[in-house]
Amino acid sequence: MNGTNIENALCTAAEEFEKAFAKYFEHKDADLKIVSDAMRYSALAGGKRIRPFIVNEFCKLFGGDVSASMSLSCALECVHTYSLIHDDLPCMDNDDLRRGKPTCHKVYGEEFALLAGDALLTYAFEIIANAKALSDSAKIHAVKLLSSLSGIEGMVGGQTIDLESEGKSIGIDKLIKLHLLKTGALIRCAAKLGVIAAGADENALESADKYGEALGLAFQITDDILDATADESELGKPVGSDKENGKVTFLTFMSVEEAYTEAKRYADMAREAIGLYEKSQMLTELSEYVVKRNK
Amino acid sequence: MNGTNIENALCTAAEEFEKAFAKYFEHKDADLKIVSDAMRYSALAGGKRIRPFIVNEFCKLFGGDVSASMSLSCALECVHTYSLIHDDLPCMDNDDLRRGKPTCHKVYGEEFALLAGDALLTYAFEIIANAKALSDSAKIHAVKLLSSLSGIEGMVGGQTIDLESEGKSIGIDKLIKLHLLKTGALIRCAAKLGVIAAGADENALESADKYGEALGLAFQITDDILDATADESELGKPVGSDKENGKVTFLTFMSVEEAYTEAKRYADMAREAIGLYEKSQMLTELSEYVVKRNK
């Protein structure tokens, strides 16, 4: 694996994405300033932009152009951003910092952070409906996917299980279900939105689904390993917090070494799901990177 | 005006709506029970169901069938319900009761009420995308309308201005803008969604827009009058709360009598917007009812 290759690609793609994304946050009405500022603050707060990368790479994998998938990338990142804003609220995780910066409600107040999250979620669907390069049928397919994978039977369902499991000793099946929904659903959504933008068929959607599902689990297991073993200065956030909070993780059920093997197994499944297609190198490298990263 | 006629029609329509709406809340996954229960609790908590009534009546006005508009009614009511759940949260209005029943967060806890609101908003778009009786183009039109009228430049914008205006002495122009967005946007949306379900043209959409805008203001002015003058037992909620809270209302700028004249003026504008069309009697009666109601 050429770590530099994928890291460079992620970095270049993130820059390209930021430019497109920023254009959606130029609201001008002075009366709405505090909430539109709060939306922009959280939306443009950086991050690896892995979901947009997956959307656009899947579009390219099936012969589409990024100009067709970028609006879907932006819509999906709106949903991801809203979920972070609401997750950080005092009644949820009560976090003061995200990526080293004050969380949205710390800067704008709880009520405006709540509204900014609501507005971003709503905006996601507006962005899809107004996407220029997509047919109505592709747009409706995208709305269907995004709404089902981010709602009660998707991401919100995962947050529900997560909150319900606090302080309880859940089994590994429930833990996998939790992660398949909480983080996995949007990663699957990313892969499938890319396929829709490319106008590809059911087989392609199925491959994307398998890739996203496996990649999400590889990502989560690696996160659990990093929380237990990483160097705090390298990771850029406190380590050992899972153990401290008595949180059930994959390491509750296996050793670090076993977990690493399991993460690699899922990364292999992701790779295999797209192995048949030409030009799948970047997405293959992403699946390897997800497990080998140190932050 | 025949008050009984419209009141009966509202009542019958609400019953029909409840039946259709309830079918959307039969989630079965036991792991997601607390949030799906919270969604159902708030969605099926009753109310006049005026927005669904408007959607369905506008559909009928333009020759459509309620079987085509009902899914849009349900989607819109999901958005209305989510806005009530989030509005009631401690960081917003901090209300313990709604329609005489404990608010969602009082029953299920703040974190699950937050998620139930998020899930309902998301669900609205899923319901539209899965609507059986609409073309893809009608669905996309509906997604566009609902997202723009409920987001930062619609309902959420109104909530923003409302929160920003607390304790300030705003002018009547800002007050009108606040209400045009906070409650007016979803009423306009209701009327226009009905037109979309009927497959009617731009002229019909414009009439619906005018009707919704005027009806929303007539409704709000009457609400302000009722808060100041109604009999508490008849209204079913405390009166005088606006004055107590130092809230700017239409009565800050005019007498009760002047406000009543103003409400009637807007009701007339609503009536005129649809006066050209046959079968507009029910929507005309609704505009009269909105001003003459005593609760």
pLDDT score of A235: 73
Mean pLDDT of B211-234: 92
Report yes or no: B176 at the A interface, CB cutoff 8 Å: no
Tens digit of each residue's pLDDT (9 = 90 or more) over A13-23: 999 999 999 99
pLDDT score of A241: 78
Q: Which domain holds residue A150?
A: 3-292
Helix (H) or strand (E) holding B104: helix B104-108
Does the predicted interface ipTM exceed a cut of 0.85?
Answer: yes
| Confidence tier at A231 by pLDDT (50, 70, 90) | confident
pLDDT score of A2: 45
Mean pLDDT of A176-192: 98
Any idea which residue has 């559909």 for tokens? B59
Average pLDDT of the residues of chain B: 95
Any idea which residue has 């792991």 for tokens? B31
| Confidence tier at A237 by pLDDT (50, 70, 90) | confident
Mean pLDDT of B105-110: 98
Query: A129 to chain B: which residues are within 8 Å by CB?
Result: 140, 143-144, 147
Tens digit of each residue's pLDDT (9 = 90 or more) over B250-284: 999 999 999 999 999 999 999 999 999 999 999 99
| Confidence tier at B237 by pLDDT (50, 70, 90) | confident
Tens digit of each residue's pLDDT (9 = 90 or more) over B149-192: 999 999 999 999 999 999 899 999 999 999 999 999 999 999 99
Closest CA to A274 of A192, A156, A196: A192
Any idea which residue has 């109601």 for tokens? B293
With a pLDDT cut of 90, the percent of chain A lying above it is 90
CA distance B154 to chain A (A): 10
Report yes or no: B258 at the A interface, CB cutoff 8 Å: no
Report yes or no: A166 at the B interface, CB cutoff 8 Å: no
Of A160-174, A252-266, B232-246, least confident by mean pLDDT is: B232-246
Closest CA to A105 of A278, A93, B105: A93
pLDDT score of B2: 45
pLDDT score of B239: 78
pLDDT higher than threshold 80 for residue A92? yes
> How far apart (Å, rounded) are the C-alpha atoms in residues A155 and A180?
9
pLDDT higher than threshold 80 for residue B232? no
Report yes or no: A39 at the B interface, CB cutoff 8 Å: yes
Task: Tell me how many domains chain A contains.
Answer: 1
Closest CA to A113 of A92, A139, A141: A92
Query: B159 to chain A: which residues are within 8 Å by CB?
Result: 115
Tens digit of each residue's pLDDT (9 = 90 or more) over A96-113: 999 889 999 999 999 999
Tokens matching residue B97:
């009761």
Q: Which of residues 177-236 of A touch B (CB under 8 A)?
A: 177
Report yes or no: A293 at the B interface, CB cutoff 8 Å: no
Q: Is the Cβ pair B157, A91 closer than 8 Å?
A: no
pLDDT score of B1: 45
CA distance B84 to chain A (A): 12
β strands within chain B, DSSP E = 97-98, 101-102
| Confidence tier at A95 by pLDDT (50, 70, 90) | very high
Query: A164 to chain B: which residues are within 8 Å by CB?
Result: 31, 34
Using an 8 Å Cβ cutoff, are A213 and A285 in contact? no
pTM over 0.90: yes
Neighbouring C-beta atoms of residue A276, cutoff 10 Å: 9
Report yes or no: A7 at the B interface, CB cutoff 8 Å: no
Query: B109 to chain A: which residues are within 8 Å by CB?
Result: 91
Which residues, at least 6 apart from A72, have a Cβ–Cβ distance to it below 8 Å?
Answer: A55, A128, A131, A134, A142, A193, A194, A196, A197
What single string gives the DSSP state of each residue in A15-66?
Answer: HHHHHHHHTT-----GGGHHHHHHHHHHHTS----HHHHHHHHHHHHTT--H
Domain CATH number, residue A83: 1.10.600.10
Which residues, at least 6 apart from A36, have a Cβ–Cβ distance to it below 8 Å?
Answer: A25, A27, A29, B152
Tens digit of each residue's pLDDT (9 = 90 or more) over A262-279: 999 999 999 999 999 999
